[in-house]
Amino acid sequence: MRHFYFEYISMHLKIALPLLFLFFFIFFSCGPTNENRDNDRLLAKASNKSLYLSDLDGMLPEGTTSADSSLIINAYIQRWIKETLLLREAERRLPNDLNIDQLVRDYRASLIRDNYEKVLVEEFLDSTVTQTELTAFYEKNKGQYQLDVPIVRCHFLKVPLPVPEESMLRELWNSKDTSDYKKLITYSNAYAEVHSLEDSTWQRIDNLALAFPKGTITVENISGKKDFTQKDDNYQFYFRLLEIRNKKEIAPLSYIENQARKVILHRRKIELLEDKKGQLFDIELRKNNVEIFYQ
């Protein structure tokens, strides 16, 4: 963090404002105040700044032993001195054209605005996204969701050896009966180390391959892996391919649904905030609280 702070100082605003705010928080919170310190215990001094015992109020948990309190206080003193000295060095290296007061004002305004926007969103934003909205969004924007890797819908199990009730598992795996499918799910929940039996779930090939021995499933061979079982020294594997979408094909809606929902909500949030800004502008303009001099 310190390395990046000095980089920021030398490059004039190349790092985020929160880091700058952190150091100024240390400066203003730990520096001397106008309070009467006559009855306060002085703990340390560095760079013309003083640290008092009262500055540590609330830091020591209730019931802390004397020995533990001493350790905590000493650790804090060491950290405070180092941060204070670092801040002094940072101040010494400040470029002449860096307007700190303006940066602090801007950051304060940003915090206040962000907090109010959060309140508005929590109170007024409708977070419900219907399937109709998702479908409409997908149809309009699906060209943006081209796959960078193949994805598949499949069923698979990874069961530790020795396989419990192996003959029954084999029958359930090959059965087309709905009741047997439910039994297979129950079995998998009980015995399989990894399994996926949802028809609608899409998986990236590279992620799916991690559940199998190396080279069992790859981008190159997945098309030929329709239905197979295999065994290694520790596991029995079952795999059945239901559907594949290749690289550069358009991702199905179910695969990008969560991403689409976030985009819809983000757009809804932006619209809400812009509407609120417009309302405030109109209200204050009617009250003659807004004047525009540039024409």
Q: What percent of the chain has pLDDT over 70?
A: 88
Assign 43 to helix, strand or coil.
strand
Residue 189: what pLDDT? 96
Residue 239 has pLDDT above 70, yes or no: yes
Count of Cβ atoms closer than 10 Å to residue 20 Cβ: 20
Buried b / exposed e over 103-137, threshold 16 CB at 10 Å, is eeeebeeeeeeeeeeeeeeeeeeeeebeeeebeeb
Answering whether pTM is above 0.75, one says no
Residue 292 has pLDDT above 90, yes or no: no
Residue 7: what pLDDT? 44
Q: Determine if the peptide bond prior to 160 is cis (ω within 30°).
A: no
Residue 187, classified by CB atoms within 10 Å of its CB into exposed (0-12), middle (13-18) or buried (19+), is buried
pLDDT digits (tens, 9 = 90+) for 34-77: 456 778 899 999 988 999 988 888 887 888 888 888 898 999 99
Question: Rounded CA gap, 42 and 5, in Å?
Answer: 30
Q: At 114, which helix (H) or strand (E)? A: helix 100-124
Residue 33 has pLDDT above 60, yes or no: no
Residue 100: what pLDDT? 85
Contact of 231 with 237, CB cutoff 8 Å? yes
Residue 95: what pLDDT? 86
What average pLDDT does the segment 147-163 reach?
95
Residue 12 has pLDDT above 90, yes or no: no
- The third-level CATH classification (topology) of the domain covering 147-245 is Chitinase A; domain 3 (3.10.50)
Question: Rounded CA gap, 287 and 291, in Å?
Answer: 10
Residue 191 has pLDDT above 90, yes or no: yes
C-alpha 59: how far from chain center: 29
